Structures are given as structure tokens and as C-alpha cells.
Structure 1
Amino acid sequence: MTIKESDVSASVVNLLKNAKYAHLATANPHTYQPNVSLMNYAYMNQSELHPTHQQINSSPQTSYIIFSVNKSATNFENIKINPKVSILIHDWVTAKSTLSETETPRGTSSTTDISPLLKLLQNMNQSELSTISVTLNGEAILVEDNADAENYYKELLLKSYPDSKIFIEGDNNVIIMIEVRNVKIVDTQNNVQKH
């Protein structure tokens, strides 16, 4: 079974297309050692893939996550022997808020230094950003021995992450495609949807 864009809401697809990072979880089946890596990624459906990969799955609505991985990285070693992976993508604020409260020198909180307008804007931003997390489970496919396809995916990644050239290009990097098999969506109210 594969997940299709039509199975999830537009806000989930928007998150997948626009979030900055993904957390890639892999596991070594021999040592039972898990590994999590923060990754740059590209989200696409089958029709957006390089032409040599557009027939991987019979459904044109199958979703894929594309990564560039260093061949010496633990996640690459794990994927070679266990292609099953999990990916977490979210829009939750990752740092504790420093705008709603400020620390005084004695360690007590003070909100008098912050304007009501700044508080309002911060609360609006928090509610806009902290909405959902998406866990994608899938199977990794190594894109090797096809320089044209590798360059196609690297260019897509570089377009989104121009400052991450070192993590995308290089002779020791390889492109990995994750075919998404199922999705779990959780919101801030702990409502869970599985597809």
C-alpha cells in the first residue's frame, strides 16, 4: 500500500512541501541500534520524479521524500541493510518561547517589559506554526548508477537549500528516495489520523 496526496488534507501536503527539515529514522536490524538524522529533503509525487523513476509504482499519486546522504553516514549503512525508514516532519516551534516571559537577574519571570502588541504577534505566530506533526513510514530506494537522475534530484535539493551544498553535492553523497507507505498525522490536541 502507498499513500496518495488525495488521502491527506491540503495543510498536510503544504507542510510536506514547505517544512525546512525532516528527521530521518533508520535502524540496524543486526544490532537493533536506531539512528535519527536531521535532513534537508524534497517532497514530490510520482509525476514529479525523474523520468526513469516515474514507473516505480502504478499510482501517479504516490508520494516520495528525496534525501542526499553521505555514504559514510550511519543512516546510509542502515538503509543498505534495512530499507524501512520513518520520517518525522513538523511545524512546531522547536525553541522555548522567550518573548512571552523574560528572565530577571534573580531568575523570576517578568512580563512587564514586553508590549501587548508583541505578545499578541507572538501568540498568533505560535498558533499558526504549532499545528501538526506528520510521521511517514516508507521504504528507501538508492538512486545509484544513474548520474542524470542523481543530478536532477540534487538540483531540486539545492534549489530549496542553497546553503546546504556540502550536504547535497560531493562524490561521497548518494540520493535516496523514500516511497511513502503510510502516514500518521497528530495535531496539538492529540488528534491522530492514520492513512
Structure 2
Amino acid sequence: MADSMNPPLSYEASATTTHPLVATTLPSEVKSCLKNSRFLHLATCDGLTPHISLMSYTYLPSTPFDSYPTIIMTTNNSSRKTNHLLTNPRVSLLVHDWVSHRPPTRAPSGGEREGSPPPAATRSSLASLLLNLNTSALSSISTTITGTARFLEPGSEEEEWCKKQHLENNTFEEEMGTFGQQQQPGQRRPSISIDDDVRVVTVRVREGRIADWKGGVKDWQLVSEGDESPEPLVNGVRPA
């Protein structure tokens, strides 16, 4: 019998809806995750073969065109994910902020690999500081978001507005240049480019699942004011 203080990974019975949370606002953990992370994983499928892409994105609590929280992404018009989305717009997104308070693991006795984080990292003063920070200040969860991707009409007011927001959100100060060369202090540089043939994709944030690093899960669903009987989620997904 597993120690209740140290549950095994993936200990939750998560094949069905687990610890459902239905509310008119996003869970605070999801908000924090979406605000802190710089990238997300976008999973698409053409009906046969799944495909995952690492994406820059922009999260907005709402837009002038949609009252729901929205995620904005861009994709090349001839990319595999674009072809997938044109045939199957159902997507799954995975977001976490790349910071974990997972304690270091011991290296196996065989010596073929190091622990995680490796000893050299734990000896670093910066790494030690991060490892010893109050864990409440660090994210320990990831969230999946399930939904339907929507291509914005090229040249439309909504597309132009979302392009501007996405470009501003992915412009950073003092970015590292080529071969690690530091940019001039105060200089701002976009980390993405949006050409004329790039398609803008949005995903409405309505439902998903929170998972912590110990394997606990919680399904969440965002509903509009006055919606008292939302459709139930199954494994973080609304049944078709």
C-alpha cells in the first residue's frame, strides 16, 4: 500500500472527470500558468497521426471580439499543423511555466545518467536559490486546454487586432542575440515575425485539466453567467 504522504505518480483515477470545478472565472492556477509561460505545446491530428508543435502564444482574458479568454497563435500557411487544423480543428494545448519545485533526484547506482537536476546545477548559487524559494511562489502545475481552433479571416479587423496583440506580447527587452550576444540595454526585439502569408489562429479557453507534479488532476470548465447546467466533462473533454 502506497504511503499516503508520498503518493505515486499518476495516482489519480483520471479516466473520467476528476474533482470537477465549474466556475464563471478561470481557476487561479490556470491564469497564472497562462500569464507566466512563454510557450505552449499544440497538439493537432489529421484523423490518423497526432502532431505536436511548440508555439509562441498570447493569452488574453477577453478580446473586443470574444468575451471568453482567448489564446492567439500564428502558423505558416503551408505547415503540417495548418493542414491538420483545416481538416480537424479540434486541438489540445499543454501549458506550464517551465519552473518546478520538484526536489533533486538521486542518480542511479550504475552512473549512466545524472540525477534531476544534476549535481552541478544544485551547486550553483542561482539554482540553490531557486530550489529553496518558497514553493508557493513557484508554479507546480500544468494545464491542458481542449477546444476548437479558428482561423481568422485574412485582412479582417479581428485578424489585424490579434496580430498586433500577438506581436507586442512576443517583443522582449534585452533578448539574447545570435550566439548568446547581449542586445543593447533597453533594446526591444520581437521573437516572432508575422508575414503576409501567416495565418492567425485563436482558441477559446473554456475547459481543460490541471495536473500537478505529483500526479494529481482536476478538471475545470468555464461557463457564462447564468449557465446553471453546463455539459459534463469526461477526461477534461466535453462529449461530442
* Aligned pair partner of 2:161 in 138, 152, 156: 152
The 8 Å contact of residues 26 and 86 in structure 1, kept in 2 or not, is answered as yes
Matched, 1:71 2:89: no
Q: Write the distance in 2 (CA, Å) between the matches of 1:23 and 1:118.
A: 27
The equivalences for 1:1-195 within 5 A come to 6-29=24-47, 32-45=48-61, 48-49=62-63, 51=64, 53-54=65-66, 60=67, 62-93=68-99, 114=123, 118=126, 120-124=128-132, 127=135, 128-162=137-171, 163-166=190-193, 169-195=194-220
Scaled by the length of structure 1, the TM-score of the pair is 0.73
The verdict on how the C-alpha distance between 1:191 and 1:159 changes in structure 2, with shifts beyond 3 A counting, is same
The verdict on how the C-alpha distance between 1:126 and 1:91 changes in structure 2, with shifts beyond 3 A counting, is farther
The 8 Å contact of residues 42 and 66 in structure 1, kept in 2 or not, is answered as yes
Cα shift readout 1:107-153 (whole Å, capped 9, x = no counterpart): 99867x937x6564031359454501000000011101343222211
Q: Offset of 1:8 from its aligned partner?
A: 3.7
Q: Write the distance in 2 (CA, Å) between the matches of 1:78 and 1:120.
A: 43
Matched AA of 2:45? A
- Indicate the SS of the match to 1:134: strand
The 8 Å contact of residues 68 and 175 in structure 1, kept in 2 or not, is answered as yes
- Indicate the SS of the match to 1:165: coil
Pairwise CA RMSD of aligned residues? 3.3
The 8 Å contact of residues 65 and 177 in structure 1, kept in 2 or not, is answered as yes
Cα shift readout 1:29-76 (whole Å, capped 9, x = no counterpart): 1xx11111111111123xx32x3x33xxxxx3x322110111111111
Matched AA of 2:57? Y
Q: Offset of 1:82 from its aligned partner?
A: 0.3
Q: Write the distance in 2 (CA, Å) between the matches of 1:191 and 1:147.
A: 42
Q: Write the distance in 1 (CA, Å) between the matches of 2:144 and 2:45.
A: 16
The size of the alignment, in residue pairs, is 170
Matched AA of 2:34? L
The 8 Å contact of residues 20 and 40 in structure 1, kept in 2 or not, is answered as yes
Matched AA of 2:97? D
* Percent identity of equivalent pairs: 29
- Indicate the SS of the match to 1:177: strand
The 8 Å contact of residues 92 and 132 in structure 1, kept in 2 or not, is answered as no
Greater displacement, 4-13 / 147-156: 4-13
